[in-house]
Structures are given as C-alpha cells and as structure tokens.
Amino acid sequence: MLIKNALIENSQIPQDLRIEDGVFKEIGNLSPEENEDVLDLDGRLFLPPFIESHVHLDTCLTAGDPVWNMSGTLFEGIECWSKRKEKLSREDIRERVKKAVAMYAKNGIQFIRTHVDTTDPELTAMKTLIELREELKDVMEIQIVAFPQEGILSYPNGKQLMIDAIDMGADAVGAIPHFEFTREYSVESLDFALKLAAEKGKLVDVHCDEIDDEASRGLETVAARALELGLYDKVTASHTTAMHSYNNAYVLRLMRLLKMSRINFVANPLVNTHLQGRADIYPKRRGITRVKELLAEGINVSFGHDDIYDPWYPMGNGSLRDVVFVGLHVCQMMGYEEILNSYRLITYNAAKTLHVSDRYGIETGRPASFIVLDEKDYYEALIKDSAVLYSYKNGRKIAENSASQGKLYI
Ligand code: FE2
C-alpha cells in the first residue's frame, strides 16, 4: 500500500509512505508499483497513533449507577465506586470496557494504560481486563496497572491482593500514598510497591499526591526509590496535584531529585481541574501539577483522560482532543509552538511512559501504525476539533471517520 502526500508531524512538505507486511517500508518521494493500493491524503496531517496514558477502564461508563456523586468530589467518588463494586461482574466489565475501547479506537487511540482496582477480594476486574487485553490486542494495546484504590496498607489483605494481581499478569504496580491512613503507611506502601516491581520486573505507575494538601510528599519517596532501585523511567507518577501547592523553595530542591530519578509524569487536566481545589473558598487552586516547569527541565510528561463517565467524572468521550485542549489552557501553554507540538503529550511522551517507544513512531522498519487528521497541522486540527479520518494499526485499518460537514443557511 502506498500513502501519498502525507504531512508527517506538522511538516510542510508532503511525503509518501510505502507499507508492506504491516511495517513502514519506505518514506520519501515514491511512485505506485503495479496493482498497488494508493491512498492520497492530499496534504493532510499524518501522526503516530494517540496514546491514552492514564484511564480507569474498570470504572468507565458507570456514572449514576447505583448512585450519583452529588458533591462531585474525589472522596465521594471513591464511596460511590465502593457501592458499584458490590455488583461488579465479569459480563458487566466486558461490556463496558469493549464500549470504551471502541470509543477510543474511533478517536485514533491505539494504546491504553488502564489502572484496575485491586481492592476487591475476588479481583474480578483484574481477571477480566487481563482476558480483554489479549482479546482486543489487534485493535488496542492495553497495559494494566494493579491499582489499590482503597490503599495497600489501609485495605484488608491489600499487599497480598497486589502480589496476586501482579502474578496474574498485570503489567505495572500502582499505589495511592495520599489515601493511606497515615504518613507512615504512605511511605511503607511506596516501599512495598517499588520493591515488588523491581523483584518482578514490572513497571510502576503511582496515583501520587492527588490531593491539595501541600504536605502530601509521596512524590519524593517515589523518585528516591526509583533512583535507588535503578527503576528510573520504568516509574511514573500520575496526578501529583499536591505539587501545585508545594512551596517554591521545596520544588527547587525536589526538581534535582526528579531529574536524577528520570521518572515520568502523567497529568489529567479534565479530571483534576474539577476534582481539586474543592476545599478552597477563593482563590481556588487549578489543581494540576507543574507541567510547564517539568517539561522545561526535560522531564517527561504526558496527558491522560483518567475517567470516562464514572463516579469521578460524569463526562468524557474517549477523545484525547479535549484533554489536550483544556490542558494547554490550564497549564498556560499557549505559545504557538506549544500548541503546534502539543500532540507529543499524547503521542511520543505517552509512548515513553508506557515503555513502547521501541515499536512506535513514523520511521522505516517500525509498525505501520498511524492516524490521519483532516487538517494540515496539529494547531489547526486541535482548534478546529478535526476528525480522525483514518486509524491504521500494523498496516490494518481499524477506524475511519468522515470529515465533519455541516450546512449553513446565511
Ligand atoms: Fe486515576
């Protein structure tokens, strides 16, 4: 198959790509061979596929069931989920996850890192997601984090459930230090999680300091253990919203450790801007980690959706466009280059977080996985909410959308 006139990653010069056996065979100025299928993009944006680096597929599409989160807060969300968990079944999870994966696929996403709750004695969601990871792999590469929603030390048998989830086949170890009963539990839970990952050869992704309490200092422990155990960029700190509230002298000291540790960050602009700052009267904090400053220090940051229509977020549609759009606003990343290159927050940066960079990107020899957007560059695509015209994974078309067209009578 030959793709003609692609504007690869905001390039202004159209290029052609030949795909054979599911990989990019050639990139350049190419002519069709005899009987070769040709797709002429006529100067449209050609990107590597989008990556969802943080979501909870096991909770998605459950908002209002059995009760609505009336306050809209994180902690009431956890209570609502606790009730919903009682009627969790394999069938229920399968149906919802498949729907959510279809929503993502339609929007050009081909990789998902999902956190899956381990604070369930039956580990029903974990078992089901592991099955679905295999079943859906041709459409979506799913990575599973064993996520202790109600704590590792603060939930009965929490440590053993984490070990069971990892032995069952989860890809990454999670933790939730800011939700543990005490600061001591918080530190111990991180020691446990990172040592478990080091022993079992797994990745780490911690729900870290997702709170406005400036005394929540899980991040320094995560970074220190990542460094000491040699885990480095296998470790990700998600949320880190307390960092928004840290005093600047502390951040200055912390930044040195963060750079040495080489850990990744995931910010979730949609969800954290509405969940954080709830205890504030006015001024209200924005509730997002220091994305701009982390990036300026060369630290890897990606953006995630976090929740889709669940007890913590009653909206969401499986498109990362809104995530980037809102993230740029709230992080004050409105420079022209920042907007133009913001696709990296949900492509290359996310690939680094998921540790899939070795099989990702538009280069000869790499899997022919890509998306086409109906504009010439990402700046235009973002502001015009461009349709994802095509999504190909390993050379196979998995989604196609028509350009949005309306009629105007003026
Ligand atoms: Fe999360």
pLDDT 10s digits, 222-263: 999 999 999 999 999 999 999 999 999 999 999 999 999 999
- Rounded CA-CA distance 67/216 in Å is 30
Residue 221 tokens, joined: 């422990």
The pLDDT assigned to 74 comes to 83
With both helix axes pointing from N to C terminus, report the angle between 124-135 and 158-168 in degrees, rounded to the nearest 10.
20
Residue 207 CA, ligand 1 centroid: distance in Å: 6
The pLDDT assigned to 341 comes to 98
Residue 27 CA, ligand 1 centroid: distance in Å: 38
Domain architecture of the chain: domains with CATH: 2-48+361-400 (2.30.40.10), 50-359 (3.20.20.140)
Query: How would you classify the pairing of strands 109-117 and 141-147?
Result: parallel
The pLDDT assigned to 215 comes to 96
Residue 114 CA, ligand 1 centroid: distance in Å: 9
Query: How would you classify the pairing of strands 388-393 and 172-173?
Result: unpaired
Query: Annotated catalytic, 199?
Result: no
Residue 359 CA, ligand 1 centroid: distance in Å: 26
What is the SS3 assignment for 170-238? CCEECCCHHHCCCHHHHHHHHHHHHHHHHHHCCEEEEEECCCCCCCCCHHHHHHHHHHHCCCHHHEEEE
Residue 306 CA, ligand 1 centroid: distance in Å: 5
Q: How far is CA 58 from CA 53, 130, 156, in A?
A: 15, 11, 21
With both helix axes pointing from N to C terminus, report the angle between 248-261 and 218-228 in degrees, rounded to the nearest 10.
30
Which residues of the chain fall below pLDDT 50? Answer: none
For 400: left if phi > 0, alpha if psi spans -120 to 50, otherwise beta; the answer is beta
Task: Give the alpha-carbon dihedral of 215, 212, 67, 103, to 10 degrees.
Answer: -120
CB atoms within 10 A of CB 188: 17
The pLDDT assigned to 311 comes to 94
Q: How far is CA 227 from CA 159, 307, 321, 408, in A?
A: 23, 30, 34, 58
Residue 139 CA, ligand 1 centroid: distance in Å: 23
DSSP labels, 271-284 = HHHHHTTTT--SSP
Element (H, E) at 126: helix 124-135
Residue 37 CA, ligand 1 centroid: distance in Å: 42
Tell me: cis bond preceding 177? Omega within 30 of 0 counts.
no
Residue 71 tokens, joined: 């306050």
Residue 333 CA, ligand 1 centroid: distance in Å: 23
CB atoms within 10 A of CB 281: 6
With both helix axes pointing from N to C terminus, report the angle between 158-168 and 183-200 in degrees, rounded to the nearest 10.
20
Q: One of 150, 180, 210, 375 is an active-site residue; which one?
A: 210
Supply the pTM of this predicted model. 0.97
Residue 318 tokens, joined: 């499986």
Residue 375 CA, ligand 1 centroid: distance in Å: 32
- Could you tell me which of 54, 53, 79, 56 has the C-alpha nearest to residue 66? 79
The pLDDT assigned to 69 comes to 96
- Could you tell me which of 145, 101, 23, 53 has the C-alpha nearest to residue 347? 53
* End-to-end CA, the chain: 43
